[in-house]
Chain A
Amino acid sequence: MTEFIRSIYSLVRLKNKIFWNRIKKTENWSKILGIVLLIYLFLNAIQSGSFTIQYVKDIFNKESVLSLPLFSLIFFIIFISNILTTFVLSGSNYSLNLFKTLLHFPIKFNKIIIYEIISGMGDLINLLFIPFYAAALLIPNCVFGWNNILTFITVLVLFLFSVNSIIYLFKNILALISFSKYARKLLFLISISSGIIFLTITNKLNAFLQNTNNIILTEKILNLFPSGIYLNFIMNINSGFLSYIFLLTLSYFLFINISLLALNIYFANLLRRKNCSVSPNKNNMKKSFLTRLSLSVKINPITKKDLVYTLRCLRTMLFHLLIVIFLPILLISYKSSVHENSSIRNIINQFSFSILYTSLIVISFAGNIFAFDGKSIINYFFRPISYTDILKSKTFISNFYIVIILFANLILFIILRTGFIDIIFCELLILLDYILLLLAALPLSIYFPKEVNYWAMNGFLTSFINLFILIVITVILWFISQAALVYYIHSNNKILLFILVCFMIAPFYYYKEKIIASLSRLLSKRKEKIITVFR
C-alpha cells in the first residue's frame, strides 16, 4: 500500500512540476495577465453560480417544495456541462505524450489509470467549474466550523473524482466504439437517436415541468446521481445529523468511485489489448465534400492547405453542440413566462438562469484558451507574431468567431422579438468582455516577445478567406437553427422535427471522420504510437 501511494504521489508530483515549469517558462507579464484572466473566469463562475442561487432563494422561500428540486435541476445541468466541456476540450497531445512516456517505465497500467483520473481533477477546464459547486454552500446559510469544512472538502474531492471517472469512462467507451469496424454506423445511429430523443424531450419538457409533482419526481431521480448526492450533503451540512449524512455520502461516493474505477481499468485494459490496425488515423481519413471542393478550387497551395485544415476543425462542432443544449432551455424558459403573464419574478428568474447558462457557454468557450496543445494560457491571446500576421492568426480568428456568434445571437433575439431584455443584457456583457479582452490583447501581443513554434508556423496560422467563410457559414447556421427551434417549440410540427434532427446531426455527420479519429486518440495514443512506430 505504501509503495502504491508513493508511486501515485510521484506521478502527481510529476504533473505538478510539469505544470509549474510551463508557467515559469512564460514571461512575467504573460504570467500576470494569465493570472488576471483566470481570476476573471473564476469570479465570473462564482458570481453566476451565486447569482442563480440567490435568485432562486428569493423567489422560493425555504419551505417551498420547489426550491430544492430547482437547485437539484440546476446542479445536474452544471454537472452535465462539466462532463461535456471537459470531455470535448481537455486532453491535449502533450498529456497523451505523457501517458505514452509513462508506459516506458515499470509502472502498473492500473496505477497510470488512477493517476490519469486524479490529474484530470486538476485540469483547468474542470477547475473552472469548482466555483459553481462551491457556490452551493450559499443555499443552506452555512455556519462554518472545522467539521463542516473538512467534511465538505472530503465530499467535494470525492465528487470531483467521480466526475472525472465518468469523463474517463466516456472516453474509454467512445474510444472502444471508435475502434470497432461499425464505428461510423454506430456514431450515425447515436447522433440520430440522440437528436430525436433530445428534440422530443425539449418539446415535452415544458408541459412536464408545469406540474409540481413532476418536478419533485425529477429531483428524486436526479438525487441518484453524484450531483444530487453532493447537493443533498450540502443541504444537510448544518444539520445535527452531519456525521450520519457524511457517512452515507462517503459510502455512496466510495461505492460509485470504486465501481467506476473498476470499469475504467477494465475498459482501458480492453483497449490496450485491441488490435490497433483498425485505428482510424488522420492520414487515412476520408475527405469530406467541402474538403474535396476546396481542394479543387484554384487558389495558392498554402491557403488551400489552411482552408482544408479549417474545414476539418472539430472545435466548430462544439458550437453546434452548445446551441443544441442551451438554446432550447432558454426558449422553453421564455415560452413558459409568456404563458404565465410574465411577472417581475419570472423575469428575475429567467435573468438568473440566462446568466448561469451563458456563463457555462463562456466557460466552454474559455476552454479554447487551454486548447492550444500545451501552450500556456497567455499564448492564446498573445501568439500573433507581428501586427501583419494578426489577421491570419488562428487565435484572432477564434476570438473573432466567438464575438460574431454572440453578436449574431444578440441580433436574432431582437429580430425574433423574444423580449429577452435580460438575456440581451447578459449577451451584451459577455460580448463586451470579449471585445475588451481582444482590445487588450492585440496591442500587447505586438509589444511582447512571443514564442513562435512549429505549430504556429505550420497550419495554425490560417488565411483571412477562411475567417470569412467560417463566419458566413456560422451566422447562416445559427440563424436557421434558432429560427427553426423557436418555430418548433411554438408549433410542434412533426415535419419540422425531422428537418431539425437532420440539421442537428449534420455537423456530427460532417465531422464524423474527425470525431472518430479524435475519440480514438483521446485515450489510446499508445495505439497511434504503435502505428507510427511501424511506419
Chain B
Amino acid sequence: MNILEIVSLTKKYGNITALDNFDFQICDGIISGLIGPNGAGKSTTINCIADLLEYDSGILKIFGKELKNDPIGIKKKLGILFENTDDLFLYLKGEEHLHFVGEIYGLESNIISARIDELFNFFEIESHRRMLIESYSKGMKKKIALASIILHDPEFIILDEPFEGLDVLTIIKVKRLLQQLKAKGKTILITSHILSYIEDLTDKVAIINKGKIVFQSETKDIRNKIKNEVTKETYQSLEDIFIDFTTEEEQKTELSWLK
C-alpha cells in the first residue's frame, strides 16, 4: 500500500515553477530518500505534504486520503522535522515544548511526562531540560525537534535534513533510531545533502531536479545501473548518479580569477 501518493503535483511561485507535474510514491514500512540540488523542490514538496503550502494542481494522498479533505486527521499521524530549527517555540523550555506538542496531539499528561523522560535520556539532553530552547546550540535544537516529532508515535515520519548540526555520536544514534522505527513498521522519508547517509539508510531513493523526479530506484540496485550503454559501465555510487542527473554539461567548474 502507498502511504504517500503524489500525482502530477504542480506548484508555481509567480513565473517560477517549483513543482512541475511531480509524481512520487512511497510504500508502507520503508525508508525513502529524496535528494536534489538547492531549489530543486524538496522543501516545497515537504511543505505541501505538511499542508503549509497550497499546490496549484495535482493529487496529494496520504494514508490513501486526499490531504485537502482531512488535513488535521492526516497531520495527527504525521511527524515532520523541518530544516529550520528556529521554527520551534524558542521561548519555551525543552520540557515545556514537548509537553505542549503532546497536548496538541491529544496525549494524556502522564503519558507525555513518561515519554519526555525517555526522550531526554535518549538524546542525552537531560541537563538542558529546564533551559529555554533559545539558549540551545543548533544540534540541541535539532534533537528537541526530533524528539517532538516522534513523541506522539506517528505512522509516517518526514525528515528534512535530519543530520545537519548533529555531532557524530548523535548521528549514529539517530540512524539506529530510524532503523528501529522502520522495524516497527513506520514509513520514513528523508531529504539530505549527505548522500552517503541516504545510501546507508534508505530502501528507495529518488532524485528531484527542477521540480521533477529525474531518477528513481531501489537503493540496493543503484550500483548495478548502467551509466554508459556502449561501455556497459555502471555507476559507482549515489554521488555518481546525482552528479549525472543534476549537473548540466556546460556548467562552469572553475572560477576565472582564482590562480
Contact = CB atoms under 8 A, between A and B. Distances in A.
B163 interface: no
A131 B96 CA distance: 33
A103 B52 contact: yes
Interface stretch (B8-16, B190-198, B225-233, B241-249): B8-16
B149 to A, nearest CB: 9
Contacts of A276: 13
B116 interface: no
A10 B92 contact: no
Interface string B1-41: 00000000000111110100000000000000000000100
Given A105-B101, A105-B104, A17 B96 contact: yes
A106 B72 contact: yes
B88 interface: yes
A342 interface: no
Contacts of B132: 21, 25
Nearest to B73: A106
Contacts of B39: 534-535
Nearest to B77: A106
A534 B44 contact: yes
A297 to B, nearest CB: 30
Determine the main DSSP class of A at the interface with B: helix
Contacts of A221: none
B105 A10 contact: no
A18 B89 contact: yes
B138 to A, nearest CB: 14
Interface in A264-291: 272-273, 275-278
Interface residues of B, number: 37
A10 to B, nearest CB: 5
A21 B93 contact: yes
A107 B104 contact: yes
Interface in A69-124: 94, 97-98, 100-101, 103-108
Nearest to A531: B13
A534 B13 contact: yes
B103 A104 contact: no
Interface string A514-535: 0000000000001001110111
Contact of B105 (A97, A100, A106): A106
A499 interface: no
B13 A277 contact: yes
B47 A104 contact: no
Interface in B69-83: 71-73, 75-76, 80, 82
Given A94-B90, A105-B101, A531-B13, 4 more contacts: A21-B96, A106-B71, A530-B47, A534-B13
Closest 6 CB pairs of A and B: A277-B14, A106-B75, A18-B91, A106-B76, A277-B13, A106-B72
Interface of B: 12-16, 18, 39, 43-44, 47, 50, 52-54, 71-73, 75-76, 80, 82, 86-93, 96, 100-101, 103-106, 132
Interface of A: 3, 7, 10, 14, 17-18, 21-22, 25, 94, 97-98, 100-101, 103-108, 272-273, 275-278, 374, 526, 529-531, 533-535
